[in-house]
Amino acid sequence: MTIAKQINWKTIMAGTALSAMLVLSACSGGGEESPEEEPTTEPGTTEDASTEVDESDEAATGDTETPDSDTAEADESSDELSWGEGETELELGETGEIHSTLGTFDATISDVSYVDTLDGENVGEGGVYVLAEISITNTSDDALDSGEVSRAEIKNVDSDVSLQNVTYFEEVNNFEGEIAPGETVEGEIVSIQDTSSEFKIILGNRATSNLLVWTVDGPEAN
């Protein structure tokens, strides 16, 4: 009996020691937390697809932006004459409109005559003074220099020679001073030319405005 009791006591002590070790091990492991793995998103997942959709939406929005007002105004006025562009053929008595860097104005050539003498000076054999009567109406918001806007080119169609008008003849009603907004001024332009069957009187300058062209019969037309 004494041996049996001793054996049982040793068994109990061994079990108690094992239990204590298990408890200590559990306590030690419970104080440390396992690091959480950062979520990873592989291409093709739902999150990536959402990002791609957002970027495409932004691109689509950029493509459909409303044009600014300057572009819209340019489109609306694309059919109108603009400075440096356009040429209008006219006949005597017809009115054309000039759009230039100086401003806008209407011009009408009502009559053209051919004379041999101005200020007592004879033009010489084979020549002629081409004298045109012009009216100019200022359609812009600012005053216009009448001398600038009345500058013209007279072309001899037969010889294909073009000359500017001159302003030094006192007998001619030259344009002088300013033309106020809405005001109409009448005057004359003159050029010294060889005789021809036809002349073209050109108002405007390709570098600064559109052109108005009146074609008239010359003294050699008959």
Q: Take residue 17 and report the two structure tokens written for it.
A: 């020691």
Query: Into which CATH architecture does domain 87-217 fall?
Result: Sandwich (2.60)
pLDDT at 121: 94
Q: Can you list the alpha helix ranges (DSSP code H) found in 64-109?
A: 69-76
pLDDT at 21: 55
- Picking from 139, 147, 144, the residue whose alpha carbon sits closest to that of residue 167 is 147
- Please name the residues in contact with 74: beta carbons below 8 A apart, sequence gap of 6 or more: none
Phi, psi of 54, rounded to the nearest 5 degrees:
-60, -45
Q: What stretches in the chain show pLDDT beneath 70? A: 1-84, 222
Q: What percent of the chain has pLDDT over 90?
A: 57
pLDDT at 84: 63
pLDDT at 145: 96
| Domain chopping of the chain, boundaries | 87-217
Q: Take residue 42 and report the two structure tokens written for it.
A: 């592989």
